[in-house]
């Protein structure tokens, strides 16, 4: 390939990116309503997956994306201080996925860390829906240490417990079962049909959800979600390997108390999966 051809290709790539950038900027950032964009009659709804690391949140995100009314790709790492930051979310999601119709009902973000909400009053907006996902501690903590081998057991435990406490505070703040839903990792894997039926009712989608999902360019990318090969399968893998990492029994018991407390609180404030 000659240098001239390379330069031409680079030129057209940059031109395409500039056109796309201007298109999204115009449609999203020229409307003062953070839930509305140009040339669209109905406002967007924001869908947060509120969870913790190694909970199965990447799988949940992909399963939610199996519905054509939802768009998202994982953690955007946006720091939210007000509803106005939802414009950043819309731009980042559509810019990453390159969907130009922009006709989805929900724009999704996954939030796993405490410092991402600089304010949280927007969680009570009528346009914001939240799905809480939590996982029992034994495999969660071992899995955290696998991806963060430089962490001590105590640091992993502190992250897990502090995150569960924050999730409880979010549920209490929202205090609306029509806009907050609790599921566990076990339910997602073992009661999938019940979970999917609940998703459709909770989110009021016309189409159902599927165990089969499309992978994205971002699937498996570190910093966005699960980087293991399982997430690239395009379907739920139920027979997962046991972790080789062991976690102290005493600390697991302590974490189990935090999990049970969080489960009780979220069950009181959120809609739940009925067997």
Which residues span the domain enclosing 148?
31-269
Q: What is the CATH number of the domain that holds 138?
A: 3.40.50.300
Q: Are residues 108 and 72 in contact, defined by beta-carbon separation less than 8 angstroms?
A: yes
Q: Would residue 196 count as lying in a domain?
A: yes
Examine the pLDDT at 165 and tell me if it is beyond 90. Answer: yes
Q: Which two three-digit tokens encode residue 223?
A: 């910093």
| Domain assignment present for 241 | yes
pLDDT tier, 193 (very low <50, low <70, confident <90, very high otherwise): very high
Which tens digit of pLDDT belongs to each residue from 203-230?
999 999 999 999 999 999 988 888 888 9
163: Cβ–Cβ under 8 A, 6 or more apart, which residues?
52, 53, 112, 113, 114
Range with the poorest average pLDDT among 15-24, 100-109, 189-198, 242-251: 242-251
- With H, G, I as helix, E, B as strand and everything else as coil, classify residue 178: coil
Share of the chain above pLDDT 90, in %: 84
Is this prediction's pTM over 0.85?
yes
For residue 244, pLDDT over 80 is answered with no
109 belongs to a structural domain: yes
62 found inside a domain: yes
């Amino acid at each position: 390939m000659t240098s001239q051809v390379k330069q031409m290709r680079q030129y057209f790539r940059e031109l395409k990116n500039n056109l796309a950038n201007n298109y999204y900027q115009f449609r999203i950032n020229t409307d003062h309503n953070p839930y509305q964009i140009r040339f669209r009659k109905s406002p967007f709804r924001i869908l947060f997956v509120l969870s913790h690391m190694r909970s199965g949140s990447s799988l949940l995100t992909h399963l939610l994306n199996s519905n054509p009314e939802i768009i998202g790709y994982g953690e955007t790492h946006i720091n939210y201080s007000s509803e106005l930051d939802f414009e950043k979310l819309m731009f980042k999601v559509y810019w990453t996925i390159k969907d130009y119709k922009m006709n989805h009902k929900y724009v999704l973000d996954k939030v796993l860390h405490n410092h991402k909400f600089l304010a949280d009053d927007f969680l009570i907006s009528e346009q914001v829906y939240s799905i809480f996902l939590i996982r029992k501690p034994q495999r969660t903590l071992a899995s955290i240490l696998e991806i963060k081998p430089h962490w001590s057991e105590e640091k992993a435990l502190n992250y897990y417990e502090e995150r569960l406490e924050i999730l409880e505070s979010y549920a209490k703040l929202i205090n609306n079962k029509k806009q907050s839903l609790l599921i566990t990792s076990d339910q997602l894997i073992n009661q999938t049909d019940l979970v999917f039926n609940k998703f459709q009712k909770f989110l009021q989608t016309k189409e159902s959800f599927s165990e089969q999902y499309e992978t994205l360019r971002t699937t498996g990318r570190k910093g966005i979600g699960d980087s293991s090969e399982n997430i690239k399968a395009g379907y739920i893998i139920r027979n997962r390997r046991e972790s080789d990492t062991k976690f102290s029994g005493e600390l697991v018991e302590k974490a189990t108390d935090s999990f049970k407390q969080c489960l009780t609180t979220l069950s009181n404030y959120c809609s739940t999966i009925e067997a």
